Structure 1
Amino acid sequence: MNKNELLQYFPCGGVIDHEVEVMDVKPLKQKNAWNAIATLPPANTAKLIIIYRLGEGEEAEYRAIPAKCPHQGADLSGDELKLDGNVYCYLHKRPICVFSEYNYAFNVIKRDNKFVITP
């Protein structure tokens, strides 16, 4: 399954009812990924996130997930997004899908060189 098929069948699942500004954006070592800070549900507290770009050019889409693995809190910032739409935690190889509401994956847009999490 390729990136376009994933986007077609699995829209981003994070639930949010308003736009959230993304702050303190810094590029990561891997291509098309950034660390940042955003206030996310359900706790509505500022958290470290990772933004991944899927695709290139005008068709590029962005997804954000928390920077900590939901299993045991391992830092995911060194883990690459694979073609299957998952980031695999280096600690236990747990898949974290950038399309899943269960992993708090959020849709992100780039507006005027700033990232914004959108409903």
Structure 2
Amino acid sequence: MARVWWVSHITLTESGGGVKTPGETLRLTCTVTGLSLTSNDVNWIRQAPGKDLEWAGVIWAGGSIYYNTALRGRITITRDTSKSQVFLQLTGLKTEDAAMYYCARETQ
């Protein structure tokens, strides 16, 4: 299921996901329109059923990447600026990784 957010003319659309089993790898794509990835930070957040939002990681405009320490070693965030896409990969899935995943622009 893809989710789309509108911020004036800006859209961030996720794709990928679906049903996974423990031990598998999750790969998600966030396609961004209306802004430059080299001028904007993009975060990945997630929300498990009945739980609060949890920050997973961020790729800053300059390319620096930071992860939630609880996910370190399993999470990788990358981007392809030529395609305006940001990618999330989470390996060795656990039952507690079951959640809705979102990409979000960090507003200034």
| TM tier relative to shorter chain | 0.3 to 0.5
What TM-score comes out, normalization by structure 2 length?
Answer: 0.33
Higher strand share: 2
What TM-score comes out, normalization by structure 1 length?
Answer: 0.31
Higher helix share: 1
